[in-house]
Structure 1
Amino acid sequence: MQYRPLGRTGRTVSMLGYGASPLGGVFGPVDEQAGVRAVRTALDLGVNIIDVSPYYGDTVAETVLGRALRGVDRDSYLLATKVGRYGEASFDFSAARVTASVEESLARLGTDHLDLIQCHDIEFGDLDQVIDETLPALAGLRDAGKVRHLGITGYPLEALTRVAAATPVDTVLSYCRYTLLDRALAAAAPEFAERGVGVMNASPLAMGLLSHRGAPAWHPAPPEVRAAASAAAALCAERGIDIAQVALRFAVEPAQFATTFVGSASPENMARNVRWALTPADAELLADLEKLLAPVRDRAWPSGRPENNIPAGRN
């Protein structure tokens, strides 16, 4: 496993992180004991950063993760969770709610502190509130020793860039923005790095687009992106390899990202994910995929409030 600095935090994290959303049944029914073993497998294989949220499975993911971490040396991993999003359309970034949310997460996770607390999917909220109310409230919890570092997460890089420019944050996390289909996070990373902000990547399979099963019906990608991803999966299958393996390795390679999160509630699948992340990709196949996917590259979809998808200076 390779380890990289997480911005200005002074912490070093594994290039592959454990994303705990599957523990909440986000992708189907979960065997809790298998989920616990999946977390332990990730840790045993060198993963040292875990990301979760009370939104995942309506707090179930945090609860299962807390059980998985019982008895594990607290200094051996970084624990990150989130505030602000609590349901599909339930958001509350008020100081009172996020303060209570941290206390609730601490109890579910069985710890007295969080290494990283993140505002979840900020594009669905009022960014001025996130800047002027939410993050200052979380800074107070940092001063009290309940959290160590502050971060923001979301899909539109415009929202992340605006908030990171307006107030000090330690990390940003975006999903689906550095994959075989989208390189936008790489273009934005230098601006974050100049501010000492650690950049984290998530959803390297683009929420299922880059898998042999293809995108689920609810996926927001436009039809031409879905079609290109399907063709890419077929090309990989012809070469005898799962596109998910190629996509995962591609996503973890850039050193400008501290970590890329991937998750599974299966210990066998989690071990496979680690193996895939550490296995170099075939250069010829990557070149062929590059040509195939070039016409649809960086086709982002809107997420959250329309005004939070507009580049700074254009609204």
Structure 2
Amino acid sequence: MHYRQLGRTGLNVSVISYGASPLGNAFRTIDEGEGIRTVRTALDLGINFIDTSPHYGETRSETVLGRALQGVPRESYILATKVGQYGEGKFNFSAEHVTQGFDESCRRLGTERVDVLHIHDIEFADLNQIVNESLPALVKLKEAGRVGHIGITGLSLKIFPAVLDRTAPGVVEAVLSFCRYCLNDTALDPLIPYFERKGVGVINASATGMGLLTDRGGPAWHPASPEIKEGCRRAVEQAKAIGIDITKLAIQFAVHDPRIATTLVGTANPENIRKNVEYAGAPIDFEAMARVLEFLKPIKNHNFTRGRPENRDPLYP
């Protein structure tokens, strides 16, 4: 396993990390014991960064993860969770609620402290509230020694500079972006030098586009357009027909960029996490990658967006 610095946090994170949303039944109903074995397998394989949220399964992910981490030495992993989103369509970014939500997350996770605390999916928030209320509340938790570092997450890309340009240096130390740095959508790429100048670490998630670049395909709730779904499905089939594992290439594509500290991979299957770690460490077949990128060219950087109207990215094309 290789490790990289997360911005200026001082945290040395594994290039592939564990996203615990599947523990909350995000993609299928899981067996809890299998989920716990997956977490333990990830740790055994050298993954040291684990990310969750009370939103995933309406607290189920945090609860199962807390059970999985019982008895594991606290210094052996870096733990991140989130505040602000607590279920489908359930948001509260007030100072009181993010503080209370953090306390509740800690109880479920069996800890008094987390290494990274994110404000979750801020495209659904009034960004004035994020800057003037939510972030100051997290700063207080950090000053109290209960939070190591502060981050923000979201699908839209415009929200990141909209917040970072209005906060003091060092307040926001990490961003978590998903579905915007993968084989079919690299719109995050032009923002990375901006994050580097700000000293902000980049966490990438959903290297397969939340399942689009897999044999199974995206879940029924996936927000992508029919054109994106069909383009990804066709590329998966074209790659498979010539013996190319597109999921393997998707993982490799994401972890290959040294500017991205870590890429979150979500699964509740021990064998899948084992495969993903193998993919991340295997030599890249650049010829195969070029073929797959050609397959995906018709939908390259086609995107989907969400959130408050003022926080949505323009749709392309």
TM-score, length-normalised on structure 2? Answer: 0.95
State yes or no: 1:251 paired with 2:254.
Answer: yes
Equivalent residue for 2:138? 138
CA–CA separation in structure 1 for the residues paired with 2:216 and 2:269: 18
CA–CA separation in structure 1 for the residues paired with 2:172 and 2:298: 35
% identical aligned pairs: 53
Q: Which amino acid aligns with 2:297?
A: A
The Cα shift of 1:310 comes to: 5.0
CA–CA separation in structure 2 for the residues paired with 1:238 and 1:127: 46
Equivalent residue for 1:180? 183
Structure 1 pair 117–223 and aligned structure 2 pair: CA distance change class (3 A): same
The Cα shift of 1:242 comes to: 2.8
| Cα pair 2:157 2:313 within 8 Å, conserved | no
- What SS class does the counterpart of residue 115 from structure 2 fall into? strand
Equivalent residue for 1:121? 121
Q: Which amino acid aligns with 1:308?
A: N
State yes or no: 1:216 paired with 2:219.
Answer: yes
| Cα pair 2:27 2:219 within 8 Å, conserved | no
Structure 2, unpaired ranges of 5+: none
State yes or no: 1:37 paired with 2:40.
Answer: no
Cα deviation code 1:191-243 (max 9, x no counterpart): 01101100000011101211112233432222332222122101221122332
| Cα pair 2:16 2:264 within 8 Å, conserved | yes
- What SS class does the counterpart of residue 204 from structure 1 fall into? coil
State yes or no: 1:65 paired with 2:65.
Answer: yes
Equivalent residue for 1:297? 300
Deviates more, 1:277-286 or 1:298-307: 277-286
CA–CA separation in structure 1 for the residues paired with 2:128 and 2:215: 41
Q: Which amino acid aligns with 2:197?
A: E
Equivalent residue for 1:262? 265
Equivalent residue for 1:232? 235
The Cα shift of 1:71 comes to: 1.3
CA–CA separation in structure 1 for the residues paired with 2:181 and 2:215: 19
- What SS class does the counterpart of residue 209 from structure 2 fall into? coil
Equivalent residue for 1:190? 193
Cα deviation code 1:8-52 (max 9, x no counterpart): 101110000100011111111121111111001001101000000
- Computed over aligned residues only, the root mean square deviation of the Cα atoms, in angstroms, reads 1.3
CA–CA separation in structure 2 for the residues paired with 1:27 and 1:216: 6
State yes or no: 1:200 paired with 2:203.
Answer: yes
Deviates more, 1:206-215 or 1:111-120: 206-215
Equivalent residue for 1:22? 22
Q: Which amino acid aligns with 1:260?
A: T
Structure 1 pair 178–220 and aligned structure 2 pair: CA distance change class (3 A): same
CA–CA separation in structure 2 for the residues paired with 1:270 and 1:222: 28
Equivalent residue for 1:46? 46
Q: Which amino acid aligns with 1:219?
A: H
| Cα pair 1:48 1:78 within 8 Å, conserved | yes
| Cα pair 1:54 1:62 within 8 Å, conserved | yes
| Cα pair 2:238 2:295 within 8 Å, conserved | no
CA–CA separation in structure 2 for the residues paired with 1:5 and 1:120: 22
- What SS class does the counterpart of residue 38 from structure 2 fall into? helix
CA–CA separation in structure 2 for the residues paired with 1:280 and 1:264: 23
| Cα pair 1:186 1:256 within 8 Å, conserved | no
- What SS class does the counterpart of residue 183 from structure 1 fall into? coil
Cα deviation code 1:123-169 (max 9, x no counterpart): 00111100100000010011111111000000011011211221130
Equivalent residue for 1:306? 309
CA–CA separation in structure 2 for the residues paired with 1:6 and 1:214: 30
Q: Which amino acid aligns with 2:223?
A: P
CA–CA separation in structure 2 for the residues paired with 1:152 and 1:218: 23
CA–CA separation in structure 1 for the residues paired with 2:195 and 2:173: 10
Equivalent residue for 2:92? 92
CA–CA separation in structure 2 for the residues paired with 1:107 and 1:216: 30
- What SS class does the counterpart of residue 206 from structure 1 fall into? coil
Structure 1, unpaired ranges of 5+: none
